[in-house]
Structure 1
Amino acid sequence: MRRATPRQEEIQMKYLRLMKEFLRAAVVEEMEYRSNFFANVLSTVSGLFVSLLTLQVFFNQTQAIGGWSFEQVLVLLGIFNALDGVVKMVLRPNIGRIVQHIRKGTLDLILTKPVDSQFYVSFRHILFWPITDVLMGLGLVVYAAVKMNLAFTASHLLWFALMFLAALVTLYGIWMVLMTMSFWFVKVENLTFLFTSLFETARFPVQVYKGILRALLTYVFPVAVLTTFPAAGLIGKLTWTDAVISFIIAIVIVFVARWFWKQALRNYTSASS
């Protein structure tokens, strides 16, 4: 493996420092309104409770959903909750603002900053409180794994980590592509509603869906990559085919998102012109 040059290391440290400052600002801002923070935490707890109650209703009628037991679906639900926290924490408050940047002309100011514009619009405004969604989701994963007496082998943990990373990259890429469309179609709010609706299907294993719908939720809107495959990696249901699909989709979507962003900037004429 080729070692990074001093210049590349300097750039990497620059972006790490920026991320540190973005996170620090998020924590400081959240602590200014502590009552709001605790109210949001309560909302998170109640939302997860309702999800668990709904799942229990399903399993009162059956022993398995798509070949997955109650505890296995709990793992998947925990992953879904963690990813939903990432959406609320990073994607929605940042990438979701691209439309506003274009409408108000503030994108012009971003483009003049000595930092990659895609990085800036992706991570500048981080909300701190949704970290509770992430932590509670991962906590539910651990709880379900313990209930199953699942052995936390290095292999299972590694596959879970890799699949979860692929899910995060895929989720970011999807959001970036959708919001970048606002350069051509200023009103893209309906796309976010569509994303939210499709993302809700990730609460259940993709095996629940049959035929063409299952194919669409694996390759077109990759719900399987987001929750099913990470859960499968932890509980031992993951196949090599599933893993390869996850890696390919994650790599392709992040490169498409980067290419799409650059194309959008080339066609952007700025608010002042």
Structure 2
Amino acid sequence: MRKYGRTLQSFFRACLVEEFEYRANFAANVLHTLFGLAMAVLTVQLYFYRTQQIGGWSFDEVLALLGVFTAVHGFIDFFLQPNMSRLVDHIRKGTLDYVLTKPIDSQFYVSFRHLVFWRLADVLLGFGMVAFALLRIGYTPGWRELLMFAAVFVAALAVVYSLWIAMMTVSFWAVKVDNLSFLFTTSFETARFPVSVYRGALRFILTYVFPVAFITTFPAAAIVGRIGWTEVIASGLVALIALALSRMFWRYAVAHYTSASS
């Protein structure tokens, strides 16, 4: 465990040095995120133009959910997007051989080797949006709500990671996975709204197949005091199952990997 901690520190240090060479990216990313948030808020305002609630959620509660969505998206761009796109190149070019021969777990390496630190601005802005929404609601979460939010948010990140790593692992057999990446990105956009907005089969899919409910709806509901420990435990179980299945799929793929250079 200590070895992985030191390795992660080395990754952080190397990526920070690289990021400092492009400091303007931070300002550009903040402006891009602010613009995206403004457009998202405008879209939500249009929905609330003739109603006081959508899916049982008020305008300010949906703002909190948008903040969670932005924070999760920031973590995706921080470590998932830059690493998963490189995984496909490793498999296509045969350079995954060098990863597999390193004295460290291959999944750990391909998941955390490249970090884009300036994307953490999205995370900060997302949490800022959550705080702003709580201020508008006039609600101050206690330690119980903060603890539930932290637990459910970590579970949400675990679910997103599991889905993405499983999707990219398909590239061991089909190198062109651009359509899968596009499908994930498009499906993830549905997380901008509470899952209760959707009806019928779509709601079932977004809860149990592509678990949007556990990615943004549950964390937002936790911070505004809409859920209890039952939902928190359910989120944790879903995260553990997702992590276990993605790990099994990765190990199966590596066991059947045929080097491009062999």
TM-score bracket, shorter-length normalisation = over 0.9
Alignment partner, residue 233 of structure 1: 222
Letter in 1 for 2:85: G
Task: Pick the aligned partner of 1:110 from 99, 104, 117.
Answer: 99
Is the 1:27–1:128 contact (alpha carbons within 8 Å) kept by the matching residues of 2?
yes
Is the 1:83–1:134 contact (alpha carbons within 8 Å) kept by the matching residues of 2?
yes
- CA deviation profile, 1:172-196 (whole Å, cap 9, x unmatched): 0000100001101111110010001
Moved more, 146-155 or 259-268: 146-155
Moved more, 51-60 or 187-196: 51-60
Per the TM alignment, residue 54 of structure 1 is displaced from its structure 2 partner at its CA by 1.4
Is 1:81 paired with 2:70? yes
Alignment partner, residue 267 of structure 1: 256
Report the TM-score, using the length of structure 2 for normalisation: 0.97
Matches within 5 A, 1:118-267: 118-267=107-256
Per the TM alignment, residue 151 of structure 1 is displaced from its structure 2 partner at its CA by 2.3
Is the 2:25–2:118 contact (alpha carbons within 8 Å) kept by the matching residues of 1?
no
Percent identity of equivalent pairs:
55
Is the 2:191–2:217 contact (alpha carbons within 8 Å) kept by the matching residues of 1?
yes
Alignment partner, residue 5 of structure 1: none
- CA deviation profile, 1:79-110 (whole Å, cap 9, x unmatched): 00001111111101012221111001110011
- CA deviation profile, 1:20-54 (whole Å, cap 9, x unmatched): 22122222211111223322221122111111121
Letter in 2 for 1:113: K
Distance in 1 of aligned mates of 2:13 and 2:50: 47
Alignment partner, residue 44 of structure 1: 33
Letter in 2 for 1:56: Q
Letter in 1 for 2:168: M
Report the TM-score, using the length of structure 1 for normalisation: 0.93
Distance in 2 of aligned mates of 1:79 and 1:257: 24
Per the TM alignment, residue 260 of structure 1 is displaced from its structure 2 partner at its CA by 0.5
Letter in 2 for 1:199: F
Residue ranges of structure 2 left out of the alignment (5+ in a row): none
Runs of 4+ aligned structure 1 residues displaced above 6 Å come to none
Distance in 1 of aligned mates of 2:92 and 2:146: 44
Is the 2:141–2:225 contact (alpha carbons within 8 Å) kept by the matching residues of 1?
no
Per the TM alignment, residue 248 of structure 1 is displaced from its structure 2 partner at its CA by 2.0
Alignment partner, residue 90 of structure 1: 79
Residue ranges of structure 1 left out of the alignment (5+ in a row): 1-11
RMSD: 1.2
- CA deviation profile, 1:235-266 (whole Å, cap 9, x unmatched): 11114543343122111110011100100011
SS in 1 for 2:118: coil
Is the 2:19–2:116 contact (alpha carbons within 8 Å) kept by the matching residues of 1?
yes
SS in 2 for 1:130: helix
Moved more, 207-216 or 31-40: 31-40
Task: Pick the aligned partner of 1:61 from 50, 66, 73.
Answer: 50
Q: How many residues align?
A: 262
Is the 1:89–1:131 contact (alpha carbons within 8 Å) kept by the matching residues of 2?
yes
Alignment partner, residue 20 of structure 1: 9
Distance in 2 of aligned mates of 1:156 and 1:212: 31
Distance in 1 of aligned mates of 2:151 and 2:25: 34
Is the 1:31–1:37 contact (alpha carbons within 8 Å) kept by the matching residues of 2?
no
- CA deviation profile, 1:109-162 (whole Å, cap 9, x unmatched): 111111110000000011111101000001111111122121221110111011
